[in-house]
């Protein structure tokens, strides 16, 4: 096969696939808050950078093709485009909060570089150009074969070199103090101002929670970082992780009702009902401790997350807004996680496949023919031909519950990495 003009254009396309700076266009980033002096890379490492400012995480970064070649009547751009993820978080799923670009105090902007080992192996082989492309077109596109390489200064080939190493085990005290600081700030922003906050927003209770979380991760070797953040978020949302909750009349009366009248009132830092505790094999006595509440919340959240993943995917959920079905960002960019967190407030009954009905703004589970809505006296008839992808139903106060959840969850970006460092002590 002769090397035609179109083949030359394909070779240029291959070269572009190897170079991130030609492959991706970065939209104008919004300057983030100054972090505590470290970033998480897409491969899960931590780099210490004093006074660093994060510009974008990989979950915020859209990948765009940066060339304009004709299709040439064949695979061309369509095939090469199939190798490119829509977002880098599609590849580095466990590190969605990893930093894509950041700014150092000298006003230099650094961006992540990625490489594809499969494509590299083909293009770096000793095959002829025609054979390389024949080989390339025979393999199935696989976006998971991209790997993180390093950070380079924007517009140059300068590689970022950290002057400080990732914290080691003997720096446990620093890592622990950072955990306390992260949790204290997360609770502070999720706790409305008032007399209760003034009295009970103490660092001592946060230290106790931090110790409980560290004890839990040492015992549970395999865990999901987002569920770790989710369980922590729920403790803050439900009880502020403050012992002051046990002085509230509602808590005291609820406890007495549960003991003497077989009541089913939510209790403890996790605010779990006895019926729910029994369902998940949770000892109700344990929810009066930080460790017991965290374990219970993680267990319930994980169960609901596994259920939610059967029905929800992507980074948005759908709600009725102004009489229209509208997509809104999901907590953590994960629709299934969003719904699992919502289920703690609204119940696991909100999880599932939902369809439109004869009543505007009301949806039914698709496996139900009719239903009397939670807040409506009419009977809603299910239109099973109109499924609503990623539907987030409005039940009780869950719509006002979730913005607080999101605010707290987003403030825990670096909790998993700090815990990872501290737990090995």
Q: Which residue did the predictor score with more confidence, 229 or 30? A: 229
Residue 121, pLDDT score: 79
Which of 150, 36, 88 minimizes the C-alpha distance to 315? 88
Q: Which of 85-89, 162-166, 245-249, 360-364 has the lowest mean pLDDT?
A: 162-166
Does the structure show a pLDDT above 60 at 369?
yes
Residue 205, pLDDT score: 82
Task: Report the pLDDT averaged over residues 103-108.
Answer: 87
CA 265 to chain centre: 31
Which of 405, 358, 409, 355 minimizes the C-alpha distance to 384? 355
Other beta carbons within 10 angstroms of residue 143's beta carbon come to: 15
Residue 81, pLDDT score: 75
Residue 277, pLDDT score: 85
Place of tokens 């939902």: 354
Residue 71, pLDDT score: 42
The Cα–Cα gap between 284 and 291 comes to 12
- The count of C-alpha atoms lying within 13 angstroms of the C-alpha of 77, restricted to the half-sphere facing its C-beta, is 10
Does the structure show a pLDDT above 80 at 98?
yes
pLDDT grade for 355, boundaries at 50, 70 and 90: very high
Residue 2, pLDDT score: 35
Does the structure show a pLDDT above 90 at 185?
no
pLDDT grade for 387, boundaries at 50, 70 and 90: very high
Cα→Cα distances 88→65, 85, 143, Å: 13, 6, 9
Residue 77, pLDDT score: 61
| SS (HEC) of the chain | CCCCHHHHHHHHHHHHHHCHHHHCCCCCCCCCCECCCEEECCCCCEEECCCCEEEEECCCCECCCCCCCCCCCCCHHHHHHCCCCCEHHHCCHHHCCCEEEEECCCCCEEEEEEEEHHHHHHHCCCCCHHHHHHHHHHCCCCHHHEEEEEEEECCCCCECCCCECCCCHHHHHHHHHHHHHHHHHHHHHHCCCCHHHHHHCCHHHHHHHHHHHHHHHHHCCCCCHHHHHHHHHHHHHHHCCCHHHHHCHHHHHHHHHHHHCCCCCCECCCCECHHHHHHCCCCHHHHHCHHHHHHHHHHHHHHHHHHHCCCCCCCEEEEEECCEEEEEECHHHCHHHHHHHHHHHHCHHHCCCEEEECCCCCEEECCCCEECCCCCCCCEEEEEEEEECCECCCCCCHHHHHHHHHHHHHCCCCHHHHHHHHHCC
pLDDT grade for 54, boundaries at 50, 70 and 90: confident
The structural domains of the chain, with segments of one domain joined by +, span 5-153, 170-425
The whole-chain average pLDDT of the chain stands at 78
Residue 124, pLDDT score: 77
Q: Over the stretch 286-325, which tens digit does the pLDDT of each residue have?
A: 888 889 999 999 999 999 999 999 999 998 999 999 889 9
Residue 22, pLDDT score: 31
Q: Over the stretch 235-271, which tens digit does the pLDDT of each residue have?
A: 988 877 666 555 566 655 665 666 556 666 667 888 8
The set of residues, in sequence order, having a beta carbon less than 8 Å from that of 246 and lying 6+ positions away, is 252, 288
Residue 255, pLDDT score: 59
Residue 89, pLDDT score: 85
Residue 1, pLDDT score: 34
pLDDT grade for 162, boundaries at 50, 70 and 90: low
Residue 283 pairs in a beta bridge with: none
The Cα–Cα gap between 204 and 135 comes to 62
Residue 250, pLDDT score: 62
Residue 67, pLDDT score: 44
Does the structure show a pLDDT above 70 at 357?
yes
Q: Answer for the pair 359, 400: CB distance below 8 angstroms, yes or no.
A: no
Residue 384, pLDDT score: 94
Residue 37, pLDDT score: 64
Residue 281, pLDDT score: 92
Q: Which residue did the predictor score with more confidence, 243 or 354? A: 354
Q: Over the stretch 13-39, which tens digit does the pLDDT of each residue have?
A: 444 443 333 333 333 333 344 445 678
Q: Which of 68-77, 197-206, 354-363 has the lowest mean pLDDT?
A: 68-77
The set of residues, in sequence order, having a beta carbon less than 8 Å from that of 274 and lying 6+ positions away, is 258, 263, 264, 265, 267, 284
The Cα–Cα gap between 278 and 388 comes to 33
The predicted model scores a pTM of 0.59
The set of residues, in sequence order, having a beta carbon less than 8 Å from that of 234 and lying 6+ positions away, is 270, 297, 301, 341, 344, 405
């Amino acid at each position: 096969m002769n090397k035609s003009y179109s083949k030359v254009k394909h070779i240029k396309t291959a070269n572009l696939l190897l170079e991130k700076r030609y492959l991706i266009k970065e939209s104008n980033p919004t300057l983030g808050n100054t972090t505590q002096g470290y970033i998480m890379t897409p491969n899960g490492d931590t780099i210490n950078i004093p006074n660093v400012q994060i510009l974008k995480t990989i979950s915020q970064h859209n990948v765009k093709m940066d060339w304009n070649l004709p299709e040439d009547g064949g695979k061309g751009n369509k095939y090469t485009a199939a190798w490119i993820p829509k977002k880098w978080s599609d590849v580095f799923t466990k590190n969605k909060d990893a930093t894509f670009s950041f700014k150092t105090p000298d006003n230099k902007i650094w961006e992540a570089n990625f490489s594809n080992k499969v494509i590299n192996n083909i293009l770096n082989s000793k095959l002829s150009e025609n054979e390389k492309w024949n080989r390339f077109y025979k393999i199935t596109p696989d976006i998971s074969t991209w790997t993180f390489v390093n950070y380079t200064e924007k517009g140059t080939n300068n590689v970022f070199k950290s002057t400080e190493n990732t914290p080691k085990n003997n720096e446990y005290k620093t890592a622990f103090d950072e955990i306390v600081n992260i949790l204290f700030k997360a609770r502070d922003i999720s706790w409305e101002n008032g007399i209760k906050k003034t009295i009970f927003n103490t660092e001592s209770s946060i230290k106790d929670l931090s110790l409980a979380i560290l004890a839990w991760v040492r015992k549970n070797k395999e865990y999901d970082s987002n569920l770790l953040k989710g369980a922590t978020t729920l403790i803050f949302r439900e009880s502020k992780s403050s012992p002051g909750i046990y002085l509230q009349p509602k808590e005291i009366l609820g406890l007495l009702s549960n003991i003497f009248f077989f009541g089913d009132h939510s209790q403890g830092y996790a605010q779990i009902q006895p019926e729910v505790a029994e369902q998940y094999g949770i000892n109700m006595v344990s929810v009066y401790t930080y460790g017991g509440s965290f374990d219970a919340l993680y267990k319930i959240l994980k169960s609901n997350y596994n259920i939610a993943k059967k029905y929800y995917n992507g980074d948005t959920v759908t709600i009725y807004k102004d009489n229209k079905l509208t997509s809104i960002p999901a907590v953590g960019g994960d629709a299934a996680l969003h719904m699992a967190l919502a289920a703690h407030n609204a119940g696991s009954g909100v999880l599932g496949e939902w369809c439109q009905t004869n009543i505007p703004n009301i949806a039914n589970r698709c496996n139900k023919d009719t239903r009397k809505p939670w807040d409506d006296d009419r009977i809603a008839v299910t239109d099973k031909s109109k499924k609503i992808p990623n539907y987030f139903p409005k039940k009780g106060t869950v719509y006002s519950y979730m913005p607080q959840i999101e605010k707290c969850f987003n403030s825990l970006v670096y909790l998993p990495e700090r815990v990872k460092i501290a737990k090995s002590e």
